[in-house]
């Protein structure tokens, strides 16, 4: 039996359970491609999603929450663990590993998706781009590329995020994979917004 239906079911469950179903049409956002240090998401990927939010909080607060990756579990219910794989301030070349739950489905047991990310570009208080594989029992994303940009606007910060996935399993059903990806990004934006607007930051 092909593993594709099982792996796509896990992919959808991992993220949709965290944020509900997001209309795939939200992924169809057009305009010039955002960049960080001249680099962006995978231009050739068929699984992609982008979204934006305005957060009514200082840029320094939003940036600290987003880049203190070891503290993600304290404000993101979808992140079980997160650890730096190298010391010092997060910068280009830094690596971190984080995990997120994949609940049981009718065809798969509960498992954990492990994601190893490498920072490809980082410009303080402006943007960050990371990429890497995500692997769990019955699911493999060969590479996810995730871009975030931050821009001061009247009353707060405009946050833009977009991500692409590549790999045979997710590319076998692009609409399902896109819906799963979108659900995860929307949940992340909601958590970032609510935490920052509550005035909470990670530890120094």
Mind listing the pLDDT tens digit for each residue in 31-78?
568 999 999 999 999 999 999 999 999 999 999 999 999 999 999 999
Confidence of residue 110 (pLDDT cuts 50, 70, 90): low
Cα angle 46, 147, 121 (rounded to 5 degrees) comes to: 120
Confidence of residue 116 (pLDDT cuts 50, 70, 90): very high
Q: What is the pLDDT of residue 133?
A: 96
DSSP 85: S
Nearest partner of 181 among 84, 105, 113, judged by Cα:
113
pTM of the model as a whole: 0.81
146 vs 102 pLDDT, higher one: 146
Strand ranges, E, within the chain: 47-55, 81-84, 95-102, 111-123, 127-136, 139-153, 156-166
Q: At what angle do helices 174-197 and 59-67 cross, to 10 degrees?
A: 130
Confidence of residue 200 (pLDDT cuts 50, 70, 90): low
pLDDT above 50: residue 17: no
Percent of the chain predicted with pLDDT > 90: 62
130 vs 175 pLDDT, higher one: 130
pLDDT above 90: residue 190: yes
pLDDT above 80: residue 108: no
Q: What is the pLDDT of residue 87?
A: 94
- How far apart are the C-alpha atoms of 171 and 154, rounded to whole Å? 39
Q: What is the pLDDT of residue 181?
A: 86
């Amino acid at each position: 039996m092909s593993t594709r239906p099982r792996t796509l079911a896990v992919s959808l469950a991992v993220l949709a359970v965290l944020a509900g179903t997001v209309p795939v049409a939200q992924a169809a956002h057009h305009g010039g491609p955002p960049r960080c240090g001249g680099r962006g998401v995978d231009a050739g990927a068929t699984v992609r999603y982008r979204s934006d939010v305005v957060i009514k909080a200082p840029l320094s607060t939003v940036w600290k929450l987003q880049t203190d990756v070891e503290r993600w579990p304290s404000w993101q219910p979808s992140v079980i663990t997160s650890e730096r794989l190298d010391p010092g301030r997060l910068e280009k070349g830094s690596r971190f590993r984080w995990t997120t739950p994949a609940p049981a489905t009718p065809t798969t047991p509960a498992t954990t998706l492990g994601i190893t990310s490498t920072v490809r570009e980082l410009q303080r208080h402006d943007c960050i781009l990371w990429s890497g594989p995500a692997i769990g029992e019955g699911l493999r994303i060969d590479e996810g590329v995730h871009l975030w940009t931050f821009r001061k606007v009247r009353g707060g910060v405009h946050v833009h995020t977009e991500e692409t996935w590549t790999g045979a399993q997710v590319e076998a059903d692009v609409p399902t994979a896109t819906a799963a990806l979108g659900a995860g990004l929307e949940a992340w934006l909601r958590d970032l917004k609510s935490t920052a607007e509550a005035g909470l930051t990670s530890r120094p």
